[in-house]
A and B are shown apart, each in its own frame.
Chain A
Amino acid sequence: MKRTFFVAVLALSSFAFAAEPELKPAQEEAKEKSDAALADSIKELNEKCGTKLTTAKTDYENFKQPEWVNVSHASWCSTAVDAIAAMCAERPAYKKAIGKKLTGVSCLFTGVKAKEKADGSNDYTLRNMSFEKGVFIFHIEKDQSNIYDNARATLEKVLN
């Protein structure tokens, strides 16, 4: 009985350990920067919107440092989070709805939907933002623009 329990605990621990992706040094460093920027933004989001998020989900194991040279990748996600917080600060109706519906934020380097020929200045960014099952999802790429307004527009569309 004791041995079975011990094996089970060990297996679960190994699984948990294995689930944490291994990051290369550059990815580790990038994630630290992002986490630092996000910590303040998430705190503000919780204060303004009444949400209870601990962090935003990121996938820095897919971060390719050469693609982001001289670009502040950390600000992509935090800017989107700041935009959501601002909506709550400005409009009580949004605060109520977002506080109730927003359960997570994901900023991912994978799953980016490509640019299209007919794209206007915001289309590419908007195409990579969505709100699914309570989670604001942002597929990040360095050519995206106007993140603050587009994050707002994405949520406003969903909420309205």
Chain B
Amino acid sequence: MRVALIAATLLTTAAQAKEPATLATLEQLAAQHAWDELLERAEDIAPSNRDERWSTQVTAAATAVLTSGAGGVPFERVARADRLADRYRFLQSASGFITARDAAVATGAERCMSETGDAPCWKALKELEPTLSPAGAFSLASVLKKNGALPWRVMALFARGVTAKDAPTCRDAALQSATLGALELPEGDAAARDARAVAFDLCWAALQPKLRAAMVGASRSRLRNSCKALRARGALTDMQEALCRDEEQ
């Protein structure tokens, strides 16, 4: 009798566990913020039935698991994001998920630098940086700059974050500081090239006063990076023009 009861219970439980989730189930799980379970059961929906409602629930769940809780090792959330993006390919172009992953990289970098020291973090970031969105690149650059990274290291990320001429990011103090600093690098350096593009093409309106001020007592590298562009904009004083000519000879 007791054996029969146990068997019946087990069978009932198994039947319940195997019962495939419906869209309504997923929405119910979302309402309960049962994100992990939602992600586990989302594939119960047949591919042909995976409509916008389904992708909305999955995106919400994937974004939520990246932004909730303390997280383990510094870049653990990024790894989880990438596993989810492999499993649910559409996440790779879901803006909310992209933003959450970008944030996971930035917070991971900040934690990495405070917990493990710079070297392993730079190694991890080298692989992660190309995967960031423009906004993510900008956020990471800001975090790195705040943590003492030099202009040559962050300039490319800042440059990626300026997506249009006179973009709001042009007014960012950290970007301006990095750009002015990178103009002190040798002319052929990649960071100097990025700095020239930001300074003289994309963010000229916002940076102009600082670029002009930096010409007082300018180093040779600054002159080489700045003379041509400043001359073209009529922004050189007579003395600066003379100094530029000296440098160009």
Question: Measuring CB to CB, which residues of chain A are less than 8 angstroms from any residue of chain B?
Answer: 91-94, 96-97, 152-153, 156-157, 159-160
Contact = CB atoms under 8 A, between A and B. Distances in A.
A120 to B, nearest CB: 16
Interface in B206-232: 215-217
Contact of A96 (B216, B240, B242): B242
A152 B240 CA distance: 15
A160 B240 CA distance: 6
Contacts of A159: 239
B174 to A, nearest CB: 20
B215 A160 contact: yes
The 8 closest A-B pairs by CB, nearest first: A93-B242, A156-B217, A160-B216, A93-B243, A159-B239, A160-B239, A93-B246, A92-B246
Interface of A is mostly: helix
Contacts of A160: 215-217, 237, 239-240
A153 B216 CA distance: 8
Contact-residue size bin, chain B (C-beta under 8 Å from the other chain): 10 to 19
Contact of A91 (B215, B237, B243): B243
B245 interface: yes
B216 A93 contact: no
Nearest to B216: A160
Given A91-B246, A92-B246, A97 B217 contact: no
A146 to B, nearest CB: 13
Contacts of A156: 216-217
A101 to B, nearest CB: 11
A93 B243 CA distance: 6
B245 A152 contact: no
Contact of A153 (B217, B239, B243, B245): B217
27 contacts: A91-B243, A91-B246, A92-B242, A92-B246, A93-B239, A93-B242, A93-B243, A93-B245, A93-B246, A94-B243, A96-B242, A97-B239, A97-B242, A152-B217, A153-B216, A153-B217, A156-B216, A156-B217, A157-B216, A157-B217, A159-B239, A160-B215, A160-B216, A160-B217, A160-B237, A160-B239, A160-B240
A5 B239 CA distance: 51
A92 B215 CA distance: 16
